[in-house]
Amino acid sequence: MISWCFRIACSAALGLGSATGPAPSPVSFGAEPTMTIAPDPRALDLNTASRDELLRFDGIGMLYADKIIRGRPYTERSELVARDILPTTLYLHLKYRLFVSPRPASWSSASNSPTPPDNRLDVNAASREQLTSFRGIGQLYADKIISGRPYKAPIELVGRRVMPLAAYDWIKDGLVAR
């Protein structure tokens, strides 16, 4: 059996009136709100998020939102660092809340895909001698890079603890993972 207080509360909440008085006047739903505040999204699709969604995302301001939109389409979230769209420290803070939707067939494979210059060192194919001759990579880092292959992006050197972030920041412009 439903209590008397519960019935009054439900009928008042539904606008049906209460036992003590008439029902309130109906609410007009014709007016659109001028500003809608949405909660901070837990995950963000880099290929489809609007500028407003990017701006609401914690850690991404106007500068980075515009860079992300100009850099589309993405195949991997690590491209944000590989293409110098986000700094490495910010990327490492946000990467678990970012994802990339599958590429639609309408996107051509050649459009907007940056090709790195040939003078970059491929961390997946370089020999130990090539790695040690590269500035900032000694024998220890070279051995760790070789034992951790393959890499999808050079930033994985930090994520897999092959080298610290400070060392990676110093050499990241000369690395590529093909």
Mean pLDDT of the chain: 76
Assigned CATH class of 121-176: mainly alpha
What's the pLDDT at 126?
Answer: 92
Contacts of 57 (CB under 8 A, 6+ apart): 40, 41, 44, 49, 94, 97
Q: What are the structural domain ranges in the chain?
A: 44-99, 121-176
Flag whether pLDDT at 34 surpasses 80: no
Confidence label for 106 from pLDDT (cuts 50, 70 and 90): low
What's the pLDDT at 105?
Answer: 53
Flag whether pLDDT at 18 surpasses 80: no
What's the pLDDT at 127?
Answer: 92
More reliable by pLDDT, 82 or 8: 82
The 3-class secondary structure across the chain, one letter per residue, is CCCHHHHHHHHHHCCCCECCECCCCCCCCCCCCCCCCCCCCCCEECCCCCHHHHHHCCCCCHHHHHHHHHCCCCCCCCHHHHCCCCCHHHHHHHHHHEECCCCCCCCCCCCCCCCCCCCCEECCCCCHHHHHHCCCCCHHHHHHHHHCCCCCCCCHHHHCCCCCHHHHHHHHHHEECC
Indicate if 121-176 has the same CATH topology as 44-99. yes
Angle at 140 between CA 139 and CA 144, to 5 degrees: 115
What's the pLDDT at 143?
Answer: 92
What's the pLDDT at 124?
Answer: 92
For the structural domain made of 44-99, what CATH number should be given? Answer: 1.10.150.320
Say what percent of the chain tops pLDDT 70: 67
pTM: 0.38
What's the pLDDT at 54?
Answer: 87
Confidence label for 40 from pLDDT (cuts 50, 70 and 90): very low
What's the pLDDT at 110?
Answer: 46
Say what percent of the chain tops pLDDT 90: 11
